Amino acid sequence: MSAMSLLAAGDPLYQHGVTWIVFLIVAVKVLLGFGICLISVTLMIWFERKVISDMQARIGPNRAGPWGLAQTLADGIKLFFKEDLIPERSDRIVFKLAPFLSLVPALVIFAVIPVGGTITIAGYTTQLQVADPPIGILLAIAMSAIGVYGVMLAGWSSGSKYPLMSSVRASAQMISYEAALGMSVLTVVLISGSLSTRTMVDVQGGGPWHWNVIRLGVIPFVIFLIAGIAETNRPPFDVVEADSELVGGFHTEYSSIRFALFYLAEFLNTVTMSAIVVTLFFGGPSGYILPIPGGTIIFPVLWFLLKTVAFCYLFVWLRGALPRSRYDKLMDLGWRRLIPLSLGWMLLVAGFLVSVAWGIGMGIVIVVGGLVLSRAWELGSEREFTDSAVLPPVASRLIPPRLVRDQTDRGEGEDQ
Amino acid sequence: MCLWGVVRDRVTVVDQYLPVLGLLLLGIVFGAGSLIASKLLAPHQQATAAKVAPYECGIVPENDPPARFPVRFYLVAMIFIIFDIEIVFLFPFAVVFRQLGNFGIVEILVFSGVVFLSLAYLRSVGGLTWGPIKQLVKGMPARTSESTIARISADSSPERAA
């Protein structure tokens, strides 16, 4: 592969070398991207509060600005004026570092998301996307993995009980779902043959029946959505911030603007996660373009916005509709269901892309694998709580007789 | 051609990463700027002992945060590394598997098979279990409406009350 074709696969902006105009365009794109991030977070927080309050038959924020639109801004400004406390038992450097580790990766993920088609400024054609590196989706996955450090170090450095528990939970949960997440992204990489997000979107360009959600079967999309919700710690998988168990989760000890940075990162992650779902499975900015002047620039952006808002709404809807999942059920879902399923589906997609015979062969392999796994589950549940178990049960203390009686209706002194 | 990093045929497309770097720096500057703004605007007073103590909903914290954790968490981290390394190797495969053809798919099948078997083994020895609930349920007979009626009638029977 020559240098030219490698570059042509990326942003055409750099095809004719880098001049000061190119630098200027890059600077404008970066600033615009940053601005879009901040504005989208502001709107997302307002949107979430408004939709949730609608679902709970409340009015929600309605004082600051029209329909309460400026409520987030007001909250943010308020947080600037709040006392910035650093707990005495905390590890001060890590405590100060953690919000950055949360916020910066969340911002960087946005860079690889294609928000529209291409535009031409001053003779230079560029994509409506902050950056299109050849490893685009890997960058996104890597950044979401670094986000785990933010959460983990925040809880660890607080020097407090509940944030520590929350951070341990969070890191176990996020790394568990990262495997399933990576495997479902792999199916998309298989079908588009590239890691660049722009190529992924281009491959899906020919209308809804070319979207990956249909071409790959719905399974990878569903796995990605579930894993994405778990990655962003959103309800129903928000055991990290389970207020009834862990006070406020990993950011309990954070106050003032440090807390605001975490909050910002959290909602930015929600927005970018919906944007990534749209990019990977719903064709990104592709959609019907009305034949009006400037339509080729406006409509892709509109389609992208529409799809992303739809997924943002889905995330909020799930929060409004579903109760919080229990921690052990959450981990079981990840390890026992999603990881084997995503692995199997990835092999199936790879098989069918090579040849139909391989696809059928893979199908047989998966059925055999499923049988092996179901036998392993049987064995596992037999050994789970006996003496031969690898791990002792978490709560192996004796159950008080009164409790047993209440739960089983067994009389005192009676045998089973 | 490129901003920098072109070595004849081996191209490292660094200019594609320039905006990413820009966004990264902007994020750091934004975070630092808001911290400085907060420092200027926030009240400056010596925080009281109660304010800098660990927050536990008003209960005065007596114990230190736990230093030990269930071994499961460590185990999950280790198993995760196995799967993550698998995915790391699968990504290059996914990009070039069309050129590799049959060879690539056999290789990946063997590789995935080994990792899959490790998952199956882990599960079969009970290595991926969470939560104590099943033990509680296993040792108990089912609670039915008959058993509840029997218990309540036994509780309220005259010889028991006396």
C-alpha neighbours within 13 Å on the C-beta side of residue B71? 6
pLDDT confidence bin for B6, thresholds 50/70/90? very low
Q: What's the rounded mean pLDDT across residues A109-119?
A: 86
In tens, the pLDDT along A346-365 reads: 999 988 988 888 889 889 99
Is pLDDT above 80 for B141?
Answer: no
Question: Does the residue B113 lie in any domain?
Answer: yes
Q: What are the distances in angstroms from CA A331 to CA A249, A386, B120? A: 18, 21, 16
Domain map of chain A by residue range?
3-325
State whether residue A36 sits within 8 Å of chain B by CB: no
- The domain in which residue B17 lies consists of 1-40
Contact A411 B76 (CB under 8 A): no
The per-residue pLDDT for A41 is 93
% of chain A with per-residue pLDDT over 70 = 88
For the stretch A395-409, what's the b/e string if a residue is b when 16 or more beta carbons lie within 10 angstroms of its beta carbon?
eeeeeeeeebeeebb
Q: Dihedral of CA A324/A326/A331/A332: which sign?
A: negative
Distance of alpha carbon A201 from alpha carbon A277, whole angstroms: 11
Residue, of B133 and B101, whose pLDDT is higher? B101
Cα first-last separation, chain B: 98
Residue keyed to tokens 């979401």: A144
Report the range of poorest mean pLDDT among A317-321, A322-326, B51-55. Answer: B51-55
Mean pLDDT of chain B: 76
Is pLDDT above 60 for A385?
Answer: no
Q: Dihedral of CA A225/A230/A231/A234: which sign?
A: positive
Distance of alpha carbon A118 from alpha carbon A126, whole angstroms: 5
Q: In angstroms, how far is CA A155 from the centroid of its own chain?
A: 20
Same domain, yes or no, for B76 and B36?
no
Highest mean pLDDT among A317-321, A391-395, B71-75: A317-321
Q: Give phi and psi for A184, each to the nearest 5.
A: -75, -30
**SS3 readout for A250-298:** HHCCCCHHHHHHHHHHHHHHHHHHHHHHHHHHCCCCCCCCCCCCCHHHH
Number of neighbouring beta carbons within 10 Å of residue A64: 16
Structure tokens given for B125? 């020895």
Closest to A23 in 3D by CA, of A129, A133, A124, A93: A124
Tell me the three state secondary structure of residue A128: coil
Q: What's the rounded mean pLDDT across residues A28-39?
A: 90
Distance of alpha carbon A257 from alpha carbon A322, whole angstroms: 30
Distance of alpha carbon A172 from alpha carbon A335, whole angstroms: 11
Report the range of poorest mean pLDDT among A90-99, A127-136, A138-147, A173-182. Answer: A127-136
Question: Does the residue B145 lie in any domain?
Answer: no
pLDDT confidence bin for A404, thresholds 50/70/90? low
Residue, of B96 and A403, whose pLDDT is higher? B96
Distance of alpha carbon A29 from alpha carbon B18, whole angstroms: 11
User: CATH number for the domain including B114?
Assistant: 1.20.58.1610
| A–B CB contacts, 8 A cutoff, strictly below | 314
- The nearest CA of chain A is from the CA of B69 a distance in Å of 9
Residue keyed to tokens 């029946």: A209
Q: What's the rounded mean pLDDT across residues A52-61?
A: 90
Of A131, A331, A358, Cβ closest to residue B17: A131
Q: Cβ(A260)–Cβ(A79) under 8 Å?
A: yes
pLDDT confidence bin for B80, thresholds 50/70/90? confident
Is pLDDT above 60 for A390?
Answer: no
For the stretch A182-202, what's the b/e string if a residue is b when 16 or more beta carbons lie within 10 angstroms of its beta carbon?
bbbbbbbbbbbbbbbbbbbbb
Distance of alpha carbon A146 from alpha carbon A142, whole angstroms: 6
Look at chain B and report how many structural domains it folds into. 2
- B68 to chain A: closest CA residue: A165
| Chain B residues near residue A83 by CB distance under 8 angstroms | 42-43, 45, 47, 51
| Chain A residues near residue B132 by CB distance under 8 angstroms | 393-396
Q: Cβ(A318)–Cβ(A158) under 8 Å?
A: no
The per-residue pLDDT for A5 is 45
The per-residue pLDDT for A310 is 94
Mean pLDDT of chain A: 84
